[in-house]
Amino acid sequence: MLFPLTENIHYKNNALHIENTSIENIANAIGTPFYAYSHARLMHNINSCKDAFTPYGIHVHYAVKANSNLHILKLIGEQGLGVDLVSGGELYRASEAGIAVEKMIFSGVGKSKTELLHALEMNIGQFNVESAEELALLDKIAAELATHRAINHPNSQRPIINVTLRVNPDVAVNTHKHITTGQKGNKFGIDIELAFALFQQYQDHPHITLNGLAMHIGSQIFDVAPYRKAIQKLLALVKDIQSFGAEVTTLDLGGGFGIHYENTESTDKTQQAGLEFATIAKVIAEETESFKGKVAVEPGRSLVADIGLLVSRVNYVKESNPTPFLILDAAMNDLMRPALYQASHPIKEVVKNAEDVTRPYDIVGPICESTDIFAKSYALNKALKAGDLVAFFCSGAYCAVMSNSYNSRDIVPEILVNNTDVKVIRERVNQETLLKFEEERLIKI
Ligand code: LLP
């Protein structure tokens, strides 16, 4: 099967199916646009991830930001993965999904005081701190909590607050400029020199246990070389830190493993797969062989991207010179990646026309913005007409999570398909519901 088609998202008698469910039938039942996910594909991805990392003892923490639907989180949690969180909202969702606090990592460059306090009260597994200022704030809140505990629960044991510093290793990564994170000038992470100084300053600290280093060098990375380079820089820092007697017991190496978004003509699996879990796991294991503590990774996209489709109906085929427009009922508010990063998702007809003749279309949404374009000069069937369905592939990561209601459009629903079992896992949020949040109320200041 040629990517992006898989055993789980495939054509049966010329009709696109997720597992054993026809996409057209879902569209007729719940309307368009909608996201639909394959349960089996999610399980496949989780298993290949675990099979790759677990033999080396590398811990996997799913980066929740890629798809934070409660039901997806539950499934991921049930398979034993931990999570990487970047907001109080994600922390809430992860707890609601039943994920154990010790498997939670709290990342993020601008955690608020309230978020830190809440995470400390929950006693989550690890804080990835991104600045000296955040470290000082975390320490202050931890001290206040310790005082409070000492007064109210004098016999309780002091909880260990594991803190890692997210280092900016300053390595060049060949990806879209909007998704690099580990180079000088990015807002993320702490310079190596400062990280060293902070380890000295916070050694044997009464309230927090600074015991790890973290990195995340970007997203959509296909080449293992920047990972090797960045890990080597982290390990050199570990040595320096150990030289004055401090301990580094955790290395968190982030995510970023690239997946392909192109239609491929190749049947060569390695060309279809992007940066495979097995490849990067081996590289990480090799590079960290001398490190005796816990090693973790935080993949997001690679676990969920290819589980999902965005399904949309054609509103109009607008003839135009030189290229006709395919005007869909999905728009940039439902799928922002093309407008934000010029990303392209493979697009296919949901029901294949018997006559396989294509012509180029500019594929757009109905929003009043010139950036509401999904693809330019994209070849689809010549006979497409209003009412036909199309599907955007690889739409499980950074798609539904980034949707919004711009132009007063409804928030797009999400569907989970497990064989012939179809569940709405996020309702369409319509204007009636949204307007309930716009009822005015006076507040006392
Ligand atoms: N860990 C941290 C600290 C991160 O910031 C990210 C993603 C990840 C892990 C997961 O990276 P992944 O394995 O998914 O590449 N919205 C963009 C992607 C932004 C990624 C931000 N950080 C997109 O649609 O391409």
Nearest atom of ligand 1 to the alpha carbon of 66: 14
Task: Give the separation between CA 8 and CA 18, rounded to whole angstroms.
Answer: 6
368 in catalytic set? yes
Number of Cβ atoms within 10 Å of the Cβ of 438? 7
Tokens of 335: 């799928």
Residue 402 alpha carbon, nearest atom of ligand 1: 16
Whether 219 lines ligand 1, by a CB cut-off of 6 Å, is yes
Dist. CA 216 → ligand 1 center (Å): 8
Which among 300, 299, 253 is positioned nearest to 401, based on CA atoms? 300
Amino acid letter, 137:
L
How far is the C-alpha of 256 from the C-alpha of 441, rounded, in Å? 44
The residue to which tokens 């004098």 are assigned? 154
Atom of ligand 1 nearest to the CA of 398: 24
C-alpha to C-alpha distance for 354 and 350, rounded to whole angstroms:
13
Cβ of residue 66 lying under 6 Å from some atom of ligand 1: yes
Tokens of 392: 């955007």
pLDDT in tens, 45-71: 999 999 999 999 999 999 999 999 999
Longest dimension (CA), the chain: 78
**pLDDT score of 178:** 64
- Counting from 1 in the atom list of ligand 1, the atom nearest the Cα of 337 is 24
Q: Are 10 and 1 in contact (CB under 8 A)?
A: yes
Q: Which residue's CA lies nearest to atom 20 of ligand 1?
A: 219
Nearest to 2 by CA among 388, 271, 229: 271
DSSP collapsed to 3 states, the chain? CCCCCCCCEEEECCEEEECCEEHHHHHHHHCCCEEEEEHHHHHHHHHHHHHHHHHHCCEEEEEHHHCCCHHHHHHHHHCCCEEEECCHHHHHHHHHCCCCHHHEEECCCCCCHHHHHHHHHHCCCEEEECCHHHHHHHHHHHHHHHHHHHHHCCCCCCCCCEEEEEECCCCCCCCCHHHECCCCCCCCCECHHHHHHHHHHCCCCCCCEEEEEECCCECCECCCHHHHHHHHHHHHHHHHHHHCCCCCCEEECCCCECCCCCCCCCCCHHHHHCCCHHHHHHHHHHHCCCCCCEEEECCCHHHHHHHEEEEEEEEEEECCCCCCEEEECCCCCCCCHHHHHCCCCCEEECECCCCCCEEEEEEECCCCCCCCEEEEEEEEECCCCCCCEEEECCCCCCCHHHCCCHHHCCECCEEEEECCEEEEEECCECHHHHHHCCCCCCCCC
- Asked if residue 255 has its Cβ within 6 Å of ligand 1, the reply is yes
pLDDT of residue 185: 73
**Tell me, what's the pLDDT at 267?**
60
Confidence band for 173, pLDDT divided at 50, 70 and 90: confident
Write the pLDDT tens digit of every residue in 178-228. 666 666 777 889 999 999 999 999 998 999 999 999 999 999 999 999 999
Is ligand 1 within 6 A of the CB of residue 299? yes
User: Is ligand 1 within 6 A of the CB of residue 338?
Assistant: no
Measured in Å, residue 257 CA sits from the centre of ligand 1 at 9
Pick the residue whose CA is nearest to atom 23 on ligand 1: 398
Q: Are 338 and 395 in contact (CB under 8 A)?
A: no
Whole-prediction pTM: 0.96
Question: Tokens 């069937």 correspond to what residue?
Answer: 381
Question: Is there an atom of ligand 1 within 6 Å of 301 CB?
Answer: yes
**Confidence category of residue 271, pLDDT binned at 50, 70, 90:** low
- Give the strand pairing for 414-418 and 421-426: antiparallel
Q: What spacing in Å lies between the alpha carbon of 147 and ligand 1's midpoint?
A: 37
Tokens of 215: 């990195």
Residues 6+ apart with CB under 8 A from 263: 2, 3, 4, 346
Mean pLDDT calculated for residue range 135-141: 97
From the CA of 302, how far away is ligand 1's center (Å)? 10
Ligand 1 centroid to Cα of residue 66, in Å, is: 7
My answer on whether omega of the bond before 366 falls inside 30° of 0, hence cis, is no
Peptide bond into 322 cis (omega under 30): yes
**Would you give the end-to-end CA distance of the chain in angstroms?**
62
360-394 pLDDT, tens digit per residue, is 999 999 999 999 999 999 999 999 999 999 999 99
For the CA of 86, the closest atom of ligand 1 is 3
CB 340 less than 6 A from any atom of ligand 1: no
Residue nearest to atom 4 of ligand 1 (CA): 216
d(Cα 321, Cα 324) in Å, to the nearest integer?
Answer: 7
Report the alpha-carbon distance of residue 41 to residue 18 in Å, rounded. Answer: 9
* Residue pLDDT, tens place only, 221-253: 999 999 999 999 999 999 999 999 999 999 999
For residue 216 and ligand 1, the question of a CB distance below 6 A is answered with: yes
Give 256 Cα–ligand 1 centroid separation in angstroms.
Answer: 6
CA of 253 to the centre of ligand 1 (A): 12
